[in-house]
């Protein structure tokens, strides 16, 4: 394979080599807002938790390419006016998948706007629902993944500095 230019779906590639062992990956997540100021949330199929859309960067992909691809794949929505919101890392970013995979993420979290005509399309393999929700009607923090819950708390504090944790 020509690893120099080909975009490679990295996590499956890596898992073939290491099995379920803990690995490190770069996670990309965005709080995507529509023109009404509502935020896009999704409910994960694997654990039933709510989260903001995103995923992992692939090999040879830029952060921006990966973020746009993941949001589009999971929701059908294109994004614009993207800005870095926070970076999280360490053991608090360990994610245990139902199949036994363990991944520790370095999470790059962004704020973005939905671009153009919005037609939500949930990715049936990963999510059970995707919708825009007013911030004051979000499900409880306990129903969110820890990373998304921390993004909500930071946003509610109106802390728009780029934080590194």
| Structure confidence by residue, pLDDT tens digits, 144-157 | 999 999 999 999 99
Parallel/antiparallel/unpaired status of strands 54-56 and 39-44: unpaired
The H or E element that residue 14 is part of is helix 10-18
User: What's the pLDDT at 1?
Assistant: 52
Q: What is the DSSP string of 92-148?
A: GGEEE-TTS-EEEEEEEEEEEEEESS------TTTEEEEEEE-GGGPPPGGGB-HHH
Tell me the whole-structure pTM to 2 decimals: 0.89
Residues with pLDDT less than 50, the chain: none
Q: How high is the pLDDT of residue 127?
A: 85
pLDDT for res 52: 97
pLDDT at residue 97, rounded to an integer: 87
- H helix or E strand, kind and range, residue 68: helix 63-75
Task: Classify residue 28 by burial, with Cβ atoms within 10 Å: 0-12, 13-18, 19+.
Answer: buried
Q: What distance in Å separates the CA atoms of residue 69 and residue 160, rounded to the nearest whole number?
A: 24
């Amino acid at each position: 394979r020509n690893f120099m230019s080909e975009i490679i779906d990295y996590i499956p590639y890596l898992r073939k080599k290491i099995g379920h062992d803990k690995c490190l990956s770069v996670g990309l997540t965005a709080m995507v807002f529509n023109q009404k100021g509502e935020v896009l949330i999704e409910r994960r199929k694997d654990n039933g938790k709510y989260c903001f859309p995103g995923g992992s960067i692939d090999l040879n992909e830029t952060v921006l390419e990966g973020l746009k691809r993941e949001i589009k794949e999971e929701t059908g929505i294109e994004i614009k006016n993207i800005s870095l919101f926070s970076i999280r890392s360490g053991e608090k970013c360990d994610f245990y998948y139902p199949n036994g995979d363990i991944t520790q993420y370095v999470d790059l979290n962004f704020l973005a706007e939905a671009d153009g005509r919005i037609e939500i399309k949930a990715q049936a393999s990963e999510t059970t629902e995707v919708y825009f929700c007013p911030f004051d009607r979000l499900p409880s923090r306990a129903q969110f993944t820890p990373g998304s819950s921390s993004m909500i708390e930071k946003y509610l504090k109106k802390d728009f500095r780029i934080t590194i944790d």
